[in-house]
Structure 1
Amino acid sequence: MTLLYTVLAFVLALGPLIVIHELGHYLVARACGVKVLRFSIGMGRVVWSRRFGRDQTEWALSLLPLGGYVKFLDSRDPNAGPIDDKELAREFTRQNVWKRIAIVAAGPLANFLLAIGLMAALFMHGVDEPSARLRTVAEASDAWRAGVRGGETVVAVNGSAVRSWSELRWQIMHAAVDKTDVTLALRAEGGGAYSAVLPASVIGQLDVDSDVMTTLGLDLWRPQPRIEKVIADGAGQRAGLRDGDLVLRLDGQPVVDGIAFIEAVRAAPGRALQVEVRRAGGPATLILTPDTDANGRGVIKAMVAQAPEMVTVWSGPFEAVARGFDRTWETSVMTLKMIGKMITGEASWKNVTGPITIADYAGQTARIGLVSYLQFIAFISISLGVMNLLPIPVLDGGHLLYYSLEVLTGRPVSVRVVEFAQRAGVGLLFMLMALAVFNDLGRLL
């Protein structure tokens, strides 16, 4: 059932994105007067089709679910046969170069517009996310050396306002890619404001493939640990812990949050710990002796609250659209920068992911909830738009490159050059797909 759920989430995410992309080509082609012969979801042999409209355009499902295509009336097609003189004006290659550019660019543009619309809708709805409040910082960390102590809330990074943990992480990732300083505007628990600077010498050394926040020593703030449920026949029950107990101190030392409490328990198998708690009847001091699990760690059989502080990120209609545009633009630029770093060797080629990883993430986000799933779809839509704009022959970006050269030189690229480039582009795409599947299988194993 889990596999079926993942596959279904993948199909429901990717299928509409392909349709939207191809609809972009189709609608602009029709607006430019080009005759559309076929609109196909999938590649290869057609397995189902119906014809509609004045032009009897064939709407088809094809065997290989690896994308889709829109087939225009095109004199270069060896299977097209002779074209009626009345139809010549609607033939693709006879359109001026700007119309051809518009038709080809419409597919990626449709993906970007969809992402902007999804993000704007989510911002207007309101998205619950962990806040940008920081956990107590370890003294050996880069964040501590920059002046961060914990308990503060980050309100801006390099002058850009942040309202949630994901926005904070996004801004730091940008700085890591650009290798620039990070200036954190902080609001202290008491209401005071100050700033902390993480220098470019530190940020530039971050591995963008890893958890950059943990590397810097930054983590989510969480409330003091509260016992949600004490499980029968465990060390917690024997010690007298109760549901709802708020853990204050452990061996006389304040307990920062649920994670700190769990780490302390795991590090003390078989050792008596003095636990101070606050409960409905008043404070209590208990002696807790964790049992030892199969891995030699302490365990008390109790569920401890670890949820971070949450905020609702919400925007009005106009701000939501602006934020959707900004996020789409920033994600596109970040994707291109990461591709550039992979080419120059500054980032690992393990970042190239394929359908298996995408399907896995689709299933995970769908299980979390509709908001997470729509955020995932928006991100994939952006990725689809960016990848199609890369100047690789057979992709939209390759055709845009041909037409750009035509604008500059005043004549179309020769058929021989295009044919050679197409074959090279197909080979490159197969190599990238093989790498993506290899990386996917490596992650699974």
Structure 2
Amino acid sequence: MTFFFTIIAFVVALGVLIVFHEFGHYLVARWCGVKVLRFSVGFGRPLLSKRWGKDQTEWVVAAVPFGGYVKMLDEREDAVPPEDLMRSFNRKPVAPRFAIVAAGPIANFLLAIVLYWLLFMVGVSGMKPILGPVTPATPAAFAAFEMGETITKIGTEPIASWQDVRWLLLSHAVDRSPAVTVEALGQSGETIRHQLDLSRIDADDLDGDFLKKIGLSSYLPPIKPIIAQVIPNSAGSRAGLLAGDEILAINGREITLWEELVEKIKASPGIPLVLEIQRDKTAIDIEVIPDTINENGEKTGKIGIGPQIDHDELEKLLIEVNYPAGTAMILAIKKTWETSVFTLRMLWKMVAGEVSWKNVSGPITIADYAGKSAQMGLASYLGFLALISISLGVLNLLPIPILDGGHLMYYVVEIVKGSPLSSRATEIGQQVGMVLLFTLMAFAIYNDVSRLISG
């Protein structure tokens, strides 16, 4: 069920993003007087097809869903009847052609703005920016952060939730900022200013939860080592653990928190552990051998149990942030702009070798995120759609031939030199663009497979 739910969430996301992108091309083409022959969602063999409108445009849903296209009347592709020559794409001046091509990525940015606007108005749930335990010998420890502080500002930006903390520190970490000013409220209400040094954050540290590398974590209420769930066919299930069991000790060493249990199990892949269990007021010993799994390239232990959580205490740490319509629109535009700029910065740093290419994700990872965000609720799924829509817009604006950005680059050259590029130059550019795009796709798919293998 989870697999099919993920596939459905992924297909819906692709459909929405492709339709908006291609509809941008379609709408501006019509405004510029260009005849549209086909609007296709997907490539390859048509599954559904219908002609519609004054021009009898063919609307198609095709077999391969990874993309789409708008086919316009063009003398370079087919013979054009004399009465339609002025409606041919290639006959239009460079300005309308530029606008038609740019309209696709712009539509993706507009979609992201609308989605963020709705989210900011309805409200975005998150964790309060309260610090949990600070890891020793990390940048956060050297900056004297302490558990229980509430972060209120990073640089000049106010902080409303833990998501804000992660986003802003990630932006600074990419630049390896040597002194990021972080304001916080101490548990007594006093204002504390920290100088956080991120200059030693490596490119590989940006993978996964980079906040752990910095030494920061979100505060969670203490969780007792009481089992609420045992996954079938897991190490815990095979050993005979049951929901309701309270773990008192591991190998004779007393534990009082769930985190202590997790740390010991993770550090013991394939190593027998004797758990002292209290079950129905009776103490018993159970031996369990943690399964060995790969996590970020490292072997760790896992026994497949979940904790009993005090949801009332957890609710106290949640916060919902919403804004009036006008403020929400300003914030949505700002969020879309900042995310677009950040994406470009990451791409540039990858090219420069300052950031690992492991950050590039392909269709498998995107599908996984689509499924997970959809399971978390509509707000998370809409946020995912906005982020992917921005990524699609930025990717298509890159000056790579065969992408929209490549065509825009051709038009800029045409404006400068006063005439279009030769067909030979365009053909060479298309070949180079195909190589670059397939290389990028190969990296993305390789990273997807590596993530699957490493868990």
**TM-score w.r.t. length of structure 1:** 0.84
How far the C-alpha of 1:438 sits from its partner, in A, is: 2.1
How far the C-alpha of 1:141 sits from its partner, in A, is: 2.5
CA distance in 2, matches of 1:300, 1:9: 28
From 374, 381, 389, give the equivalent of 1:373. 381
How far the C-alpha of 1:109 sits from its partner, in A, is: 0.5
From 205, 217, 225, give the equivalent of 1:219. 217
Quote the residue 1:345 is aligned against. 353
2:225, 2:261 within 8 Å by CA — same for their partners in 1? no
Identity %: 44
**Residues 1:76 and 2:72 are matched in the alignment:** no
CA distance in 1, matches of 2:303, 2:70: 61
**Residues 1:107 and 2:104 are matched in the alignment:** yes
2:149, 2:185 within 8 Å by CA — same for their partners in 1? yes
Quote the residue 2:238 is aligned against. none
Equivalent pairs, count = 417
CA distance in 2, matches of 1:101, 1:439: 34
Q: Partner amino acid for 1:211? A: D
Quote the residue 2:296 is aligned against. none
CA distance in 1, matches of 2:285, 2:304: 5
Question: Residue 171 and residue 72 in structure 1: after superposition, are their counterparts in 2 closer, same or farther (change >3 A)?
Answer: same
**Residues 1:123 and 2:140 are matched in the alignment:** no
CA distance in 1, matches of 2:247, 2:64: 60
CA distance in 2, matches of 1:272, 1:37: 72
**Residues 1:54 and 2:54 are matched in the alignment:** yes
Q: Partner amino acid for 2:66? A: L
SS of residue paired to 1:156 = strand
Quote the residue 1:283 is aligned against. none
CA distance in 1, matches of 2:385, 2:221: 32
**Residues 1:36 and 2:36 are matched in the alignment:** yes
RMSD after superposition: 3.2
Which moved further from structure 2: 13-22 or 367-376?
367-376
**Residues 1:178 and 2:175 are matched in the alignment:** yes
Q: Partner amino acid for 1:49? A: S
Quote the residue 1:190 is aligned against. 188
From 352, 356, 359, give the equivalent of 2:364. 356
From 199, 210, 213, give the equivalent of 1:201. 199
2:397, 2:405 within 8 Å by CA — same for their partners in 1? yes
Quote the residue 1:8 is aligned against. 8
From 311, 316, 324, give the equivalent of 2:324. 316
Quote the residue 2:414 is aligned against. 406
How far the C-alpha of 1:53 sits from its partner, in A, is: 1.3
CA distance in 2, matches of 1:238, 1:420: 67
CA distance in 1, matches of 2:197, 2:403: 40
How far the C-alpha of 1:368 sits from its partner, in A, is: 1.5
Question: Residue 225 and residue 113 in structure 1: after superposition, are their counterparts in 2 closer, same or farther (change >3 A)?
Answer: same
CA distance in 1, matches of 2:87, 2:405: 23
2:226, 2:245 within 8 Å by CA — same for their partners in 1? no
CA distance in 2, matches of 1:99, 1:439: 39
From 416, 429, 432, give the equivalent of 1:421. 429
Question: Residue 290 and residue 28 in structure 1: after superposition, are their counterparts in 2 closer, same or farther (change >3 A)?
Answer: farther
From 293, 313, 319, give the equivalent of 2:288. 293
Quote the residue 2:139 is aligned against. 142
SS of residue paired to 2:199 = helix
SS of residue paired to 1:40 = strand
Question: Residue 444 and residue 300 in structure 1: after superposition, are their counterparts in 2 closer, same or farther (change >3 A)?
Answer: closer
SS of residue paired to 1:173 = helix
How far the C-alpha of 1:95 sits from its partner, in A, is: 1.5
Which moved further from structure 2: 52-61 or 110-119?
52-61
Structure 1 residues 249-293: Cα deviation after superposition (integer angstroms, max 9, x where no partner): x98x9x7x75357658999976989xxxxxxxxxxxx99897543
How far the C-alpha of 1:443 sits from its partner, in A, is: 1.5
Quote the residue 2:233 is aligned against. none
Structure 1 residues 196-227: Cα deviation after superposition (integer angstroms, max 9, x where no partner): 01124345777222422101110011123368
2:183, 2:191 within 8 Å by CA — same for their partners in 1? yes
SS of residue paired to 1:185 = strand
Question: Residue 345 and residue 288 in structure 1: after superposition, are their counterparts in 2 closer, same or farther (change >3 A)?
Answer: farther
1:266, 1:299 within 8 Å by CA — same for their partners in 2? no
CA distance in 1, matches of 2:247, 2:46: 68
**Residues 1:303 and 2:308 are matched in the alignment:** yes
CA distance in 1, matches of 2:284, 2:304: 9
Question: Residue 368 and residue 290 in structure 1: after superposition, are their counterparts in 2 closer, same or farther (change >3 A)?
Answer: farther
Q: Partner amino acid for 2:99? A: A
How far the C-alpha of 1:402 sits from its partner, in A, is: 0.4
SS of residue paired to 2:86 = helix
CA distance in 2, matches of 1:51, 1:385: 28
Question: Residue 61 and residue 146 in structure 1: after superposition, are their counterparts in 2 closer, same or farther (change >3 A)?
Answer: same
Question: Residue 372 and residue 89 in structure 1: after superposition, are their counterparts in 2 closer, same or farther (change >3 A)?
Answer: same
Which moved further from structure 2: 415-424 or 393-402?
415-424
Structure 1 residues 310-337: Cα deviation after superposition (integer angstroms, max 9, x where no partner): 1112111111111111111111111111
SS of residue paired to 1:207 = helix
In structure 1, the gaps of 5 or more residues are 240-249, 274-285
